């Protein structure tokens, strides 16, 4: 059963970029605890692991078997390890678009993200690089991901996917 998060916490999890593999695995576990109310024992059970101590060991060392990462992220409900792996290779992850039309809130959020990114970028250049680069990079990455999502969404709009993950009205 998912817990209703405040908008600030929801935004935190949407924008969080892990700094290491260990951080990514730990924050996945924290997301599962905070959002899905899952303990490490329950995560291990849902992954089909015979012993939850292995999961503790993998999170502590940052060395989880690669074939278990997609399952771990799926159970935890967030893809932080994949985000970290993509970032270490200089790549961005973009959510797969569903082919649905954007509503006004989506477009306002896109414009707001652009405005925030440009403002932070302008402030950074005015300070001749003396300002902290991390928030600028985070804002630019978030905006690029949002634009890439809408780009792929418009490209696939003519052939929308079947709504397998949407609930059907009864």
Q: Where along the chain do its domains lie?
A: 7-88, 104-155
Contacts for 122-131 with beta carbons within 8 Å, 24 or more apart?
A: none
Q: Cα–Cα distance between 146 and 77 in angstroms, integer?
A: 20
Q: Cα–Cα distance between 153 and 110 in angstroms, integer?
A: 14
**pLDDT tens track for 59-108:** 999 999 999 999 999 999 999 999 999 999 988 787 776 666 778 888 88
Q: Cα–Cα distance between 121 and 138 in angstroms, integer?
A: 11
CATH 1.10.260 fits 7-88, yes or no: yes
**pLDDT tens track for 25-65:** 999 999 999 999 999 999 999 999 999 999 999 999 999 99
Q: Helix 21-36 vs helix 80-88: angle between axes, to the nearest 10 degrees?
A: 160
């Amino acid at each position: 059963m998912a817990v209703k998060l405040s908008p600030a916490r929801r935004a935190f999890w949407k924008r969080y970029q892990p700094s290491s593999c260990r951080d990514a695995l730990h924050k996945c576990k924290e997301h599962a605890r905070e959002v899905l109310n899952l303990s490490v024992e329950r995560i291990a059970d849902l992954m089909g692991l015979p012993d939850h101590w292995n999961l503790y060991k993998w999170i502590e060392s940052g060395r989880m078997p690669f074939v278990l990462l997609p399952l771990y992220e799926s159970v935890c409900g967030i893809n932080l390890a994949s985000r970290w792996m993509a970032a270490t290779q200089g790549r961005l992850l973009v959510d797969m678009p569903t082919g649905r039309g954007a509503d006004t809130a989506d477009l306002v959020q896109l414009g707001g993200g652009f405005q925030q990114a440009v403002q932070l970028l302008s402030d950074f250049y005015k300070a001749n690089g003396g300002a902290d680069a991390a928030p600028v990079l985070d804002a630019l990455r978030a905006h690029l991901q949002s634009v890439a999502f809408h780009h792929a969404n418009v490209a696939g709009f003519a052939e929308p996917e079947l709504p397998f993950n949407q609930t059907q009205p009864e």
